[in-house]
Amino acid sequence: MKKVILTGDRPTGRLHLGHYVGSLRQRIELQNSGEYDEIYIMIADAQALTDNMENPEKVRQNIVEVALDYLSCGLDPEKSTIHIQSQIPELFELTAYYMNLVTVSRLQRNPTVKAEIQLRNFEASIPVGFLAYPISQAADITAFKATTVPVGEDQQPMLEQTREIVRKFNSIYGETLIEPETLLPDNKACLRLPGIDGKAKMSKSLGNCIYLSDSEEEVRKKVMSMFTDPNHLRVSDPGQVEGNPVFIYLDAFCRDEQFERYLPEYKNLDEMKAHYRRGGLGDVKVKKFLNAVLQEELEPIRKKRREFEKDIPYVYEILRKGTEKAREVAASTLADVKRAMKINYFEDAELINEHIRKFSK
């Protein structure tokens, strides 16, 4: 069986460190590993509209921002097909058929949807499209016959829903769709990176992000303002490492050799954490180290972004070509689905002949 990746992001803002560690960094490793036959990267603008219907301009402006973030992180259009969801109508046709396989109460039980409904104050009136977006996500994944979906932890319930739809479809209409697997980052700190405010998730909607395209100065300011252990008041106080975002970011980003260069008094992060726990290590010193670590990771990305920003027509050309290619694949899956459901009337000579016989009697 072919190994196929599908994943993507909502163009609701520029991409941030959460996207990077939760999905983007791994995507690039997978792309460069050469182990996958096909890689599809979706800019999910139609999904973004399900909770931004009144603000299409936001979505419209951020498509190119997300594309620039992709390219500057190393997604290579020769190896990964970057495409725009709304330009592939076949995805919406698939969604319509899958809708009949899912109940409203099942959607309402989806824990990610539940949390997002609360966050957006949709409790009293949920847009139908928003409640149903896990179904459209199942269409996105199955349209490309994806076997692997590299995402952050918050997407697990979506993948479960997709697998249910696949099983149900195949059991009714015969083996047609592929059941995908989630690929989570193996570093625990990357599953759900907290915000700089200490909130559980760095998220565009919460305004607690360090963006991949933030300037050196913006990153430095954000790091120095980060929430840490509120009980660690004096340098001599013992501090808590668990749940402390500064240390979670270090878990996600720093490498042992960086201690040699920036803080030779520690061999590795464990030694630094031990010092923080016993007291005597100030937040400012930890934050300065984190800043150095992050700048090292982000500087090459910023540099590449500036290059791509000089050639926006090229970026749009990548999107156009990627979308064309993706559309062909989605159309072929849709044809399989319609054949399986036997709603491909004009291709169905058997049906037509049967009716000829029936009505000629």
Asked if 201 interacts with ligand ATP (CB under 6 A), we say: yes
Asked if 204 interacts with ligand ATP (CB under 6 A), we say: yes
Size of the site for ligand ATP (CB under 6 A): 18
Q: How far is the CB of 240 from ligand ATP (least distance, A)?
A: 21
Q: Tokens 């001599």 — which residue?
A: 236
DSSP 186: S
Q: In this chain, which of 4, 5, 6, 12 binds ligand ATP, going by CB under 6 A?
A: 12
Q: In this chain, which of 4, 6, 14, 18 binds ligand ATP, going by CB under 6 A?
A: 18
Residue type, 339: R
What is the spatial distance between Cα 338 and Cα 173, in angstroms, rounded to a whole number? 10
What is the spatial distance between Cα 148 and Cα 337, in angstroms, rounded to a whole number? 20
Pairing of strands 38-43, 4-9: parallel
Nearer to ligand ATP, 298 or 337 (CB): 298
Q: Tokens 């199942």 — which residue?
A: 138
The angle, 0 to 180 degrees and rounded to 10, between the axes of the packed helices 283-309 and 216-224 is 150
Query: 323 is written with which tokens?
Result: 């979308």
Q: Which residue is nearest to ligand ATP (CB)?
A: 22
Query: 115 is written with which tokens?
Result: 């949390």
180, 146 contact by CB (below 8 A):
yes
Asked if 10 interacts with ligand ATP (CB under 6 A), we say: yes
Q: In this chain, which of 77, 134, 152, 180 binds ligand ATP, going by CB under 6 A?
A: 152
Asked if 25 interacts with ligand ATP (CB under 6 A), we say: no
Q: How far is the CB of 149 from ligand ATP (least distance, A)?
A: 8
Asked if 27 interacts with ligand ATP (CB under 6 A), we say: no
Asked if 155 interacts with ligand ATP (CB under 6 A), we say: yes
Q: In this chain, which of 4, 6, 82, 193 binds ligand ATP, going by CB under 6 A?
A: 193
Stretch that binds ligand ATP, among 82-90, 92-100, 199-207, 239-247 (CB under 6 A): 199-207
Phi first, then psi, for residue 84 (nearest 5°) are -110, 120
What residues does 148 pair with on adjacent strands?
A: 5, 181
96, 129 contact by CB (below 8 A):
no
Nearer to ligand ATP, 155 or 244 (CB): 155
Residues making contact with ligand ATP (CB under 6 A): 9-10, 12, 18-19, 22-23, 151-152, 154-155, 192-193, 201-205
